Structure 1
Amino acid sequence: MTYASFTNLPASTKLQAHSFDDGRAIAGGVGWSRLTALLVVAAGTEFLLVAGAAYFAAVLYHRVVLLESPDSARYILESLLISTLELLVSTGLRQYSRILTQPRHVFLWSGASAVLLVFSFFVSAIFVLKASGDYSRATVIVQAGSVLVTVLCTRAIWFSVLQPAIASGLIDARRVILIGDPGHCLQFSARANATGIRTIRSFDFPRARAASLVPAHPDAGQAPPDVRQLVANCRPFRVDDVVILISESDCGSALALAAALSDLPVDVHVVLVGSIDLMAVSRSTQFGNMVTMRIFQSPLTPFSRAIKRGVDIAVASVGLVLTSILFVIVPIAIKLESRGPVFFRQTRHGYNNEPIRVLKFRSMTVMEEGDNFRPATRHDPRVTRVGRLLRRTNVDELPQLFNVLLGNMSIVGPRPHATSQNESFNALISSFSRRHNVKPGITGWAQVNGYRGNVDTLEKMQRRVEHDLYYIDNWSVLLDFKIMVMTFFSKKAYWNAY
């Protein structure tokens, strides 16, 4: 890397510094940051609690189940080994620091994965060391269960404490210096501040005149004075990161400046102005023998789709068995009140925007679809008395369990809209069709958060789409089970059910 891009700077160029701090520029830059200290405390707390949980679980198992009193020193070394392995696995996988970037369920799932890995190591260790003779399988299982609960509870508490503190500014997640146009620095700083990233200073970008036409400097290994001064100015603040904000014409100069900033013990970032939203959803990935920037990816891997499909088949099968009596009672009630078929089939958009036929218990006196479709409203005269009860209790959706078994729907996913609704809102809401990148569901994240029923305004549909896209981008088996539970027990799941 050469510094030719900076050799054409005018002799009078001055590096302009702009202050962003509130008196904390140097304070907190020495030693550990407050967040780092809290993460160390979190790790230490988890270590002690895991050791205690493993020890007392084993002792209580012997006293309560086996009705014997083990020696008080027994299981101490094993419990410390378990907690040490848990600490090493969690720190090795950088799980504690990811509390800043991961949603709660992903953070907790990583903790559960760590426990599984720890006990795999632990069982292997006691087997290799021939220490498993008097260590029963039941004791290992009890310890694993208690450690799992302890880790999940501890991390849930720390997440609930740290995330609001970071968002409110009580804790600085990271401290940065920005280099670039003052206006761009202000915009970037405001956006970063929302995630606890504090801007300490900003400096103007040292721009060269016609840098591309300047030959390499004879002394290319030495940075120009102004660049060396910029590095020197950054050094006292002891920040975590330096971010260079550039335009397309500054790319060559930015690489040279980044090389100069490598003298600092910080992470150096380069951000192309105007592409922050694009970069936010992109990831560098290996594509053959090349590295590309992947903007979007398929929301579910083949393995994830297989897991989700297995859960769908299991839940739908159990659901049909448990509700089989309703498939006798409901058709009789529908027939006794009004003439017409028991089931209502409607064309809706499914996975990859392909049309599917969705099955429901008939709850209206009409069966509208296509351009004639009109969503139900409060006190809608088209809804029968039986139909009103079915809709309020979500029983009218039960036949869609057959759609799940057929494979064109899932238990959990974005609710499928009538085709006319999709066509209307697709032109008004960006990324609307991305809802169909997974199979539609009988229930969904939007529905259990109160965004169900008639969408008579653009804002209501936007909120629904936002929740659907959140589900797609953060899918996990645990999130699916959470939504299933909320479908039955959350009050919001029954809002606007008419």
Structure 2
Amino acid sequence: MIYRYTTFIKAINLSIDYTILNISMVIAYLIVDKSYIFWAQNKNYLPVVLVFNLIWLLSANITGLYEQVLNKDSISTYQSVFKTYLLFVCLICFTIIIIIGPAAYSITREYLFYALALFGFLVGIWKLIFLAIRKSDRNLLIDGRNVIIVGAGTIGHDLYHYFKSNPDKGYNVLGFFDDDPKKISQKGMYLGNTDNCIDYVITNQVDEIFCALPVSSSDKIEQLMLDADKHLIRFKIVPEYYIASKKAMTVQNFDHIPVIAVRAEPLENMLNRMMKRLFDFGFSCFVIVFILSWLYPLLALIIKMQSPGPALFVQLRSGRDNLPFKCYKFRSMRMNNDSDKVQATKGDKRVTKIGAIMRRTSLDELPQFFNVLMGEMSIVGPRPHMLSHTEEYSKLIDQFMVRHFMKPGITGWAQIKGYRGETKTTNDMMERVEADVWYLENWSFLLDLKIIFLTVWNAVKGEENAF
């Protein structure tokens, strides 16, 4: 089904949730505060409002609360709300109580309790109201459309089979128009030649025309388009050449010339790239100053005590545009001649005791924040591979080199999906590459935050493939 109002309903849900959140905070402030300072003038209160709002946005993004708001059933909706609320409460408590400290902004546990409890109650009531409204007016949100296909070649038939296989899209194909009736094998689907198309559309309440005629029929396509415009019929052209892929592609217009990009790349936008770089720089500075400044000498001492050799393991790896760079890690193995050729395996005898702990908790990757600071890596991105692996797998996997369109990362979408550690088969690497390409095509700042959070969470709970 085509939901005309999906984005609108999503925006309404988000806006009302935020309104409820802020109303809950104001009410909690009025209940708890004894200074009688108007809440909007309280400088200690306003930063807390910002923290609450940002953390709710992060929590909703991680759980996908606002995705498919018109498709989820009641149980799934409340499950999403509960997971989001639980994550929100945990992050609020962690951020305010542990990181910021309740005394910093005069936040009391009583205030947190009232604000969170009231928000949970009110948002639960609102979702109940939303589900009731959605159930009663669902038919108003559904936009099923009658369509015809002009051109019964391979492309026209591919489009027809897509609509038949995906009835949820809401397109009801009435039939084909083509100058050669023999092209249409489906019984009752031939509606006439292309010259009769517009007359049929006018008399049969057709909503859209999908034109799948070849480029050689450009004069006929232009005339059909003009006639459709005259009679307020939506006209869509299906390009004669397309890639047999399920992924979305983007179209740019160079004046009157449409150009199809085979994949979306959000990080080709300079603003997005700058945002990612600023975050990388700030986050890496924080880790280096507040964590590595004391952890580095401690781990270096233990590493050297357990096996002779340097504390850092430096290896050439493939970076953005396949340019090699020196990747830093804490050395987790005894010195050996196979480190540039052989991956670590489960129970690998080369791994030291401290190395096993570092690999299991990903502490061995921490020196890569220096790579991030220097701009050679990003915090989130495809994991950099050894040069020998890049050469090997680029010959076996078609899309392997696509992952080098962006900077490699300390963690990535593939890692939180479980595709980390040893790649025993080509299929294992193929799944990792597919995840990396998906990240390249779907990057957002909130997605990066989600990946960072899940990486830390997985490190705390432990992962099967971390060895």
Q: TM-score, normalised by structure 1?
A: 0.65
Contact 1:450 1:493 in 2 (8 A): no
Q: Distance in 2 between matches of 1:185 and 1:245?
A: 5
Q: Distance in 2 between matches of 1:172 and 1:57?
A: 36
Of residues 243, 247, 259 in structure 2, which corresponds to 1:293? 259
* CA displacement at 1:234 relative to structure 2: 4.5
Contact 2:177 2:194 in 1 (8 A): no
Distance 1:262 1:144, change over 3 A: farther
- Map 1:352-431 onto structure 2 (within 5 A): 352-368=321-337, 373-431=341-399
* CA displacement at 1:377 relative to structure 2: 1.4
1:480 lines up with 2:419 in the alignment: no
* CA displacement at 1:392 relative to structure 2: 1.0
Q: Secondary structure at the match of 2:285?
A: helix
Distance 1:174 1:347, change over 3 A: farther
Residue correspondences, number = 380
The answer for the alignment partner of 1:27 in structure 2 is none
Distance 1:385 1:441, change over 3 A: same
Q: Secondary structure at the match of 2:268?
A: coil
* CA displacement at 1:330 relative to structure 2: 1.9
* CA displacement at 1:420 relative to structure 2: 0.9
Q: Secondary structure at the match of 2:421?
A: coil
The answer for the alignment partner of 1:323 in structure 2 is 292
Larger of the two Rg values belongs to structure = 1
Relative to structure 2, which stretch is displaced further, 302-311 or 199-208?
A: 199-208
Contact 1:175 1:197 in 2 (8 A): no
* CA displacement at 1:355 relative to structure 2: 0.6
Contact 1:415 1:443 in 2 (8 A): yes
Q: 1:83-117 deviations in whole A, cap 9, x for unaligned?
A: xxxxxxxxxxxxxxxxxxxxxxxxxxxxxxxxxxx
Q: Secondary structure at the match of 2:211?
A: strand
Q: Which structure exhibits the higher relative contact order, with contacts defined as CA atoms closer than 8 Å and separated by 6 or more residues?
A: 1
- Map 1:114-125 onto structure 2 (within 5 A): none
* CA displacement at 1:386 relative to structure 2: 2.4
Q: Secondary structure at the match of 1:204?
A: strand
* CA displacement at 1:411 relative to structure 2: 1.2
Contact 1:486 1:493 in 2 (8 A): no
* CA displacement at 1:207 relative to structure 2: 3.0
* CA displacement at 1:357 relative to structure 2: 0.9
Q: Distance in 1 between matches of 2:69 and 2:159?
A: 26
Distance 1:392 1:437, change over 3 A: same
Contact 2:179 2:194 in 1 (8 A): no
Distance 1:459 1:488, change over 3 A: same
Which ranges in structure 2 are unaligned for 5 or more consecutive residues?
Answer: 74-138, 182-192
1:187 lines up with 2:95 in the alignment: no
Q: Secondary structure at the match of 1:226?
A: helix
Which ranges in structure 1 are unaligned for 5 or more consecutive residues?
Answer: 1-32, 71-133, 210-222
* CA displacement at 1:459 relative to structure 2: 1.6
Q: Secondary structure at the match of 1:347?
A: strand
Give the aligned residue type for 2:454. Answer: M
1:343 lines up with 2:312 in the alignment: yes
Q: 1:391-413 deviations in whole A, cap 9, x for unaligned?
A: 11111111111111222111111
Q: 1:52-110 deviations in whole A, cap 9, x for unaligned?
A: 5555554543443355599xxxxxxxxxxxxxxxxxxxxxxxxxxxxxxxxxxxxxxxx
1:271 lines up with 2:241 in the alignment: no
Q: Distance in 2 between matches of 1:37 and 1:305?
A: 31
The answer for the alignment partner of 2:426 in structure 1 is 458
The answer for the alignment partner of 1:229 in structure 2 is 199
Distance 1:187 1:460, change over 3 A: same
Q: Distance in 2 between matches of 1:46 and 1:330?
A: 45
Contact 1:409 1:440 in 2 (8 A): yes
The answer for the alignment partner of 1:162 in structure 2 is 70
Contact 2:317 2:325 in 1 (8 A): yes
| Percent of paired sites with the same residue | 28
Q: Distance in 2 between matches of 1:471 and 1:340?
A: 37
Contact 1:410 1:442 in 2 (8 A): yes
Distance 1:144 1:377, change over 3 A: closer
- Map 1:29-68 onto structure 2 (within 5 A): 35-36=3-4, 57-65=25-33, 68=36
Q: Secondary structure at the match of 2:281?
A: helix
Q: What value does the CA root-mean-square deviation take over the aligned residues?
A: 3.9
The answer for the alignment partner of 1:108 in structure 2 is none
Q: Distance in 2 between matches of 1:330 and 1:151?
A: 36
Q: Distance in 2 between matches of 1:52 and 1:418?
A: 50
Relative to structure 2, which stretch is displaced further, 143-152 or 460-469?
A: 143-152
Q: 1:41-61 deviations in whole A, cap 9, x for unaligned?
A: 666666666655555554543
Distance 1:268 1:311, change over 3 A: same
Distance 1:163 1:382, change over 3 A: farther
